[in-house]
Amino acid sequence: MDTLFNTKFEGEPATHTQPGVQLRSNTYDLQESNVGLKLTIVSTVGFGDQINKEDSYKPIVEFIDAQFEAYLQEELKIRRVLHTYHDSRIHACLYFIAPTGHSLKSLDLVTMKKLDSKVNIIPIIAKSDAISKSELTKFKIKITSELVSNGVQIYQFPTDDESVAEINGTMNAHLPFAVIGSTEELKIGNKMMKARQYPWGTVQVENEAHCDFVKLREMLIRVNMEDLREQTHSRHYELYRRCKLEEMGFKDTDPDSKPFSLQETYEAKRNEFLGELQKKEEEMRQMFVQRVKEKEAELKEAEKELHEKFDRLKKLHQDEKKKLEDKKKSLDDEVNAFKQRKTAAELLQSQGSQAGGSQTLKRDKEKKK
């Protein structure tokens, strides 16, 4: 992009360890002579770096649809200011293809197939100096054949305008463009040119014998920029707009082939929405009642278990109390029996002491005699 617009675009470098595909959008105001251009560059950071690449295209599709949706919402306003609205729709997708010389990757075919109805795809072979001229020619033919066989619709330069029909027809035959980028200028002969210096030679970026960079710049910026914008609006955006409005219930004619009334459509959608709202409200009410019943049943079951546990503990307490009372009675009986035995023993002992005293007194009397 720096080479294409001869500008140093500021941007943060990205690593290849992103957890998913992220889209970074940067807008620049370019000026050349008296011509101004507001350019928005969107980078697909992390595309193709994950192990599971199945959903890599989804963030890109969602981003493009989000720009269409923003434009549609602006169009549907009562007071439209489209002449001052910053159009963020994507007008061209430069899809870079690795210079392998083999078939296209499945990821490339799937992604381009998902994008061809949403954006103007211009396939580009990156770092085309990595393969030889003969291999590059075969690679271009193979890519074109695979795109056609898989039904991928890439952007074709328009040939209906006589002023550009010849050059566009020629350029269509050169697709996909094989490009080389470089911001480094080297002195070649008496001129300073953008080029890449290698041990085996110098590759000139703007030399059409070396690469298709000049063809890409001519077709993209100078010849077909307005057509790219027109194709985005009349083809891709209109397709999105039609599908979106049909989803919302809007049609050009009713079943009787009469002009469709916007007011009737609005009323119908409003009634449909209110019906769905009431239905959801009733479902939520029924669900709430069901939940309350389930909770009441749980509480009753818990209450029943508590009562049963209380009865068990009460019975256990009564049994323990009865055992203690029985044990106390037994102990009281033992104490009473012990007291009786003690009383009897004391009585016997007292009687024995009295009998001994009488005998002693009698012997004393006999001695006196």
Mean per-residue pLDDT over the chain, rounded: 88
* 208 and 139 in a common domain: yes
Per-residue pLDDT, 227: 93
The helix (H) or strand (E) run that includes residue 64 is: helix 58-75
Q: Which of 14, 21, 87, 13 is nearest to 54 (CA)?
A: 21
Show the tokens assigned to 210: 């070396």
- The answer to whether residue 354 is domain-embedded is no
Residue 289 predicted with pLDDT over 90: yes
- Strands laid side by side in the 177-178 sheet: 93-97, 121-125, 177-178
Q: For residue 288, what are the domain limits? A: 261-341
Span 209-238, mean pLDDT? 92
Please say which residue of 248, 280, 300 terminates a domain. Answer: 248
- The answer to whether residue 243 is domain-embedded is yes
* 205 and 120 in a common domain: yes
**90-123 confidence digits (pLDDT tens):** 999 999 999 988 889 999 999 999 999 999 999 9
Per-residue pLDDT, 360: 64
- The answer to whether residue 14 is domain-embedded is no
Residue 257 predicted with pLDDT over 60: no
* 295 and 220 in a common domain: no
Please say which residue of 198, 218, 248 terminates a domain. Answer: 248
- The residue count for the chain: 369
Span 8-37, mean pLDDT? 85
**41-80 confidence digits (pLDDT tens):** 999 999 988 888 888 999 999 999 999 999 999 888 888 8
* 281 and 221 in a common domain: no
Task: Report the alpha-carbon distance of residue 132 to residue 152 in Å, rounded.
Answer: 26
Residue 254 predicted with pLDDT over 60: no
* 322 and 176 in a common domain: no
Q: Is the peptide bond before 176 cis (omega within 30 degrees of 0)?
A: yes
- The answer to whether residue 8 is domain-embedded is no
Task: Report the alpha-carbon distance of residue 248 to residue 267 in Å, rounded.
Answer: 12
Residue 359 predicted with pLDDT over 80: no
- The answer to whether residue 357 is domain-embedded is no
Please say which residue of 248, 281, 297 terminates a domain. Answer: 248
- The answer to whether residue 50 is domain-embedded is yes
**328-349 confidence digits (pLDDT tens):** 999 999 999 999 999 988 888 8
* 64 and 191 in a common domain: yes
Task: Report the alpha-carbon distance of residue 143 to residue 176 in Å, rounded.
Answer: 8
Q: What CATH number is attached to the domain comprising 207?
A: 3.40.50.300
* 91 and 65 in a common domain: yes
The pTM score is: 0.69
Residue 34 predicted with pLDDT over 70: yes
Give the HSE-up count for residue 285: Cα atoms under 13 Å, Cβ half-sphere. Answer: 6
Per-residue pLDDT, 369: 56
pLDDT interval class at 253 (50, 70, 90): low
* 316 and 169 in a common domain: no
Span 202-227, mean pLDDT? 91
Q: Are 192 and 176 in contact (CB under 8 A)?
A: no
SS3 (DSSP) at 202: strand
pLDDT interval class at 33 (50, 70, 90): confident
pLDDT interval class at 31 (50, 70, 90): confident
* 292 and 207 in a common domain: no
* 307 and 228 in a common domain: no
- The answer to whether residue 187 is domain-embedded is yes
Number of structural domains in the chain: 2
* 109 and 40 in a common domain: yes
* 211 and 186 in a common domain: yes
- The answer to whether residue 56 is domain-embedded is yes
